Structure 1
Amino acid sequence: SGKSLSGELLSHAGKAFTNGEIDFLQYVQLLENARNIEISYLENLLKYDETVLEANFLMN
């Protein structure tokens, strides 16, 4: 899921930066990518939940 992908990206980015494999700019870009992935995941989850609520409302 997007949440686990975001977490993996954050973990790998932190390790790579700590080990000197990437510079600060690359690290910040990876953090931004991880944040965008999580935001997208949460937006899609919200849309799904709204759809379920609407369907339940229409069926009752």
Structure 2
Amino acid sequence: MKETLVKTVDVVCGALIRNGKVMIARRVSDVSGGWYEFPGGKVEPGETGPEALK
């Protein structure tokens, strides 16, 4: 049986809501097919979730 290694990556995202509207970004279509996403990113080693959001 072949063993599969899985790499985990911690990520964070934020929901910005103002006056009943939610901020969401559309990715560049040639990179991620034009998908929408909330702002956020990967948590680097030694970094906290709130620090990664900044």
What TM-score range do you get, normalising by the shorter chain?
Answer: under 0.3
- What is the TM-score of this pair, normalised by structure 2? 0.20
- For the pair shown, which has the larger CA radius of gyration, 1 or 2? 1
Decide which structure has greater strand share.
Answer: 2
Decide which structure has greater helix share.
Answer: 1
Asked which structure has the greater RCO (Cα within 8 Å, sep 6+), the reply is 1
